[in-house]
Chains A and B, each alone.
Chain A
Amino acid sequence: MTRLLGTRNGILAGRSVFLSASVPSPDRAEKYLRLQAAQVEIEDAVVSLTRAVLYEGGRLVFGGHPSISPLVAMVAGEYRSPIRLEEEPDRVPSVEIHQLDAYRTELPDATTFMAEMGQALVTWHPMAIEGRETRASGGPRFPSSLRAMRVAMLRDDRLAAMVCIGGMEGVEEEAELFASLRPGAPVFVMARTGGASAILAREPGLNRRFRVIDDELLNELNPRLRRSDEELAAAPLENTPYAFIMQRLVREIGRGSANG
């Protein structure tokens, strides 16, 4: 019987994928495109990526975000049972969430709980500057500390690739840092999730390692879909098939890792 769950300890064993994602806020919509049902679309993409990575035995790494962290941690719970004191004390969780010390009291309960159950690891980073940091209007609260955290986060040699979903300035900065700190590792951009990802996908002189994976796959697929049953051809895909895209993306990462 096909097993319902479990990881394959497969093509991403020992490797990590860096996720950079957030839902563009309505008041930034002028710069960062907000799709219809943006929250649902981006969450769907994040959940699909998490499942695809964890199923292949990989780890997912990202900077904490109140709407993303609990979601990813909960998906991780599907693939690993809660840690018990008497077993696997050194087991490394398959999700690693990086946070600034300033947010210790703001960690969502769901994230804290999953960390306590051993299904997510929260890594705390000290503030880069004592006291108030200068911030741009509408920008993040601790820009210098965030950048320092991102640099530290991206020095992890296990990071095999980056995936950008939606997002705003944070995604743009993380993509720029990843490209410079992890040469040779691909950056996959989900243009159809809008936000900073749509901007990165359109960049003239786009870094060749930035692959607009959703467009790539769907452009290849659409002509082939039309050859199937007439009724289906008349009703093209209603939604972006994130589960399929992320599973193909993970295959690409695995192949790239295997080829060194």
Chain B
Amino acid sequence: MTASSSLAPGLQSDIAVVLQTLAGAGAVKCRAFGGIPVTSPAFIAVLSAGTPESDLQAHRLEEALGRTLLALGVRGAEVAPPCGGTVDKFLRCHANSVGACKKVLVAIADTSQAFANTPIVQEWIRRGSGYEVLPVMREGGDAATVLPVGVRHLNAAVWKKSVEESVDEVLGLAGIGTEDRRVFVSYRRVETTEVAEQLFDELSRYRFDVFVDRFRVPPGRDFQERLTDELAHKAMIVVLESNTILHSEWVGHELAFAKKHGLGRLAVALPGGVAVPWLDDEFRVSVRPEQLAPQATAVRKDSRLTPDCAAAVVSRIVSEHTRALSRRRASLMDSMRAALTYHGAVDQAMDARGHLHVRVQHSGVDREYALWASPRPPDLPDFYAAHQVCSPGPTISGLFVAPSSFLEEGRRRRFEWLAERSLLGLIDEGRIDDIAARIAAGKDLW
């Protein structure tokens, strides 16, 4: 069974993202990427203004997009596009016929010269709704001069030092979001405010949503809900180990929560700090006194990390985040696969987005199931993507395996309501074996 059979249309060969570039007089260049966890496939077309300068910027942006896409998933890989890597005409791609595919044209303007490739932009716009345009220009440029006609009313992505600053906006418009790139920073304000803010700034450049614990209430009757609100949608917790970190009423709860859900975890051992006792050293990065600015034997409220140290800490956070998220997702899916196989549902296939498709035959009836696993509660994009696969129903039964963080009755009811309308079942990982038995028997999920 191939994963793409009987699905709502996806890109060929289970490609997650097609990246096409027209820059210079050369042929159109096509690249394809698979193994990236996206809720919808995407077609990103990068178009230069037709000048040497914009050609250069287009190439740089294409390379930056490629690097970022590969970093988004452990199984992320560049794959051979169906066209062989070149097409005879820019914007020609099978992705145009895939309704669920996001389509974004990135128009790279020159600093001062007019946009010579305007007809291509206008052709794109004529294709109708679903065809997005993102103008990209350097700060200081005159939009009325350098941007193509027809898109001057749009908000442009403006870059200052490098066109790579636009990667975030391109991927955002293409629906390749940050929903899994959320980091929670636990720290003591009296000691490490500057370091926390510094990490906030640095991680934001890597397309992380960074949450610092600005809102604190003492644990109380709504304690579980409070922790769930703050952490349930995060993929990682970073603890700044300063001298009084253990005075925090929250850090122990936060770490237990992170462990319970297999979230990434990293302690930054700062000079003069104490180690939280519930983390192994393999989840710890140490900062030496000379790596603080100003240099100090104990971190202070106004201390910052030196640029090299900050870069090293952030790099460690990024890699631990990716590792933990991928592991958690794979772990849930591995348990699902094992349970399905145990119960005899061996006709399984995984698509490029990491969704598991299962086909069973029971009493002469074929049934197909599509399963998603997530280390975090599902978001609206997850329900939408699932609905794309499962609609109009009831041919494909969808199931989302997620952590059971919804102790609060109201929240649980809302998720169940949304899941029903998305033709999606929701279970927590404690029921994997149960559900696998039902699937193997070709039963309804609800």
Query: Which of A39, A44, A78, A241 lies in contact with B337, CB distance below 8 A?
Result: A241
**A-chain residues with CB within 8 Å of residue B399 when the two chains form the complex:** 2
Chain B nearest CB from A166 CB (Å) reads: 12
Chain A nearest CB from B216 CB (Å) reads: 15
**B416 adjacent to A244 (CB under 8 Å):** no
**B446 adjacent to A2 (CB under 8 Å):** yes
Binds A, one of B126-134, B160-168, B251-259: B251-259
Chain A nearest CB from B86 CB (Å) reads: 27
**A1 adjacent to B425 (CB under 8 Å):** yes
**B-chain residues with CB within 8 Å of residue A66 when the two chains form the complex:** 277-278
**A-chain residues with CB within 8 Å of residue B446 when the two chains form the complex:** 1-2
**A-chain residues with CB within 8 Å of residue B335 when the two chains form the complex:** 48, 241-245
**A4 adjacent to B334 (CB under 8 Å):** no
A74: interface (CB < 8 Å): yes
**B338 adjacent to A237 (CB under 8 Å):** yes
The DSSP consensus for interface residues of chain B is: helix
**A113 adjacent to B431 (CB under 8 Å):** no
- Which of chain A's residues has its CB closest to B438's CB? A2
Max chain A CB contacts within 10 Å: which of B399, B419, B431? Answer: B431
| A220-260 interface bits toward B, Cβ cutoff 8 Å, 1 = contact, 0 = none | 11001101110110010111111111011001000000000
- Which of chain B's residues has its CB closest to A248's CB? B433
Chain B nearest CB from A225 CB (Å) reads: 5
**A51 adjacent to B429 (CB under 8 Å):** yes
B1: interface (CB < 8 Å): yes
**A113 adjacent to B404 (CB under 8 Å):** no
A128: interface (CB < 8 Å): no
Binds A, one of B36-44, B185-193, B346-354: B346-354
**A74 adjacent to B433 (CB under 8 Å):** no
A47: interface (CB < 8 Å): yes
Size range of the interface on B?
A: 35 or more
**A113 adjacent to B253 (CB under 8 Å):** yes
The DSSP consensus for interface residues of chain A is: helix
Whether A228 touches B347, Cβ cut-off 8 Å, given contacts A2-B445, A241-B331, A243-B332, is: yes
Whether A51 touches B428, Cβ cut-off 8 Å, given contacts A81-B407, A239-B327, A243-B332, is: yes
In the bound complex, what is the Cα–Cα distance between A51 and B332 (angstroms)?
14
**B-chain residues with CB within 8 Å of residue A44 when the two chains form the complex:** 262, 331
**A225 adjacent to B259 (CB under 8 Å):** no
Residues 193 to 252 of chain B near chain A (Cβ within 8 Å)? 219, 221, 223-224, 249, 252
**A109 adjacent to B330 (CB under 8 Å):** no
A96: interface (CB < 8 Å): no
**A-chain residues with CB within 8 Å of residue B331 when the two chains form the complex:** 44, 238-239, 241-243
**A-chain residues with CB within 8 Å of residue B281 when the two chains form the complex:** 26
**B-chain residues with CB within 8 Å of residue A232 when the two chains form the complex:** 337, 348-350
**A110 adjacent to B252 (CB under 8 Å):** yes
**B429 adjacent to A78 (CB under 8 Å):** no
Whether A4 touches B349, Cβ cut-off 8 Å, given contacts A23-B280, A241-B338, A244-B339, is: no
**A113 adjacent to B219 (CB under 8 Å):** yes
In the bound complex, what is the Cα–Cα distance between A47 and B342 (angstroms)?
21
Chain A nearest CB from B396 CB (Å) reads: 16
B159: interface (CB < 8 Å): no
**A-chain residues with CB within 8 Å of residue B87 when the two chains form the complex:** none
**B252 adjacent to A241 (CB under 8 Å):** no
| A67-84 interface bits toward B, Cβ cutoff 8 Å, 1 = contact, 0 = none | 100110111011001100
Q: Can you show 10 pairs from A to B with CB atoms below 8 A apart?
A: A1-B416, A44-B262, A54-B430, A78-B404, A108-B252, A217-B338, A238-B327, A241-B331, A243-B331, A243-B335
What are the nearest 6 A-B pairs in CB distance? A51-B430, A247-B433, A243-B335, A241-B335, A70-B256, A244-B335
A: residues with CB less than 8 A from B are 1-5, 23, 26, 37-40, 43-44, 47-48, 51-52, 54-55, 66-67, 70-71, 73-75, 77-78, 81-82, 108-110, 113, 117, 217-218, 220-221, 224-225, 227-229, 231-232, 235, 237-245, 247-248, 251
B: residues with CB less than 8 A from A are 1, 219, 221, 223-224, 249, 252-253, 255-257, 259-260, 262, 277-283, 324, 327, 330-332, 334-339, 341-342, 346-350, 399, 404-407, 412, 415-416, 419-420, 425-436, 445-446
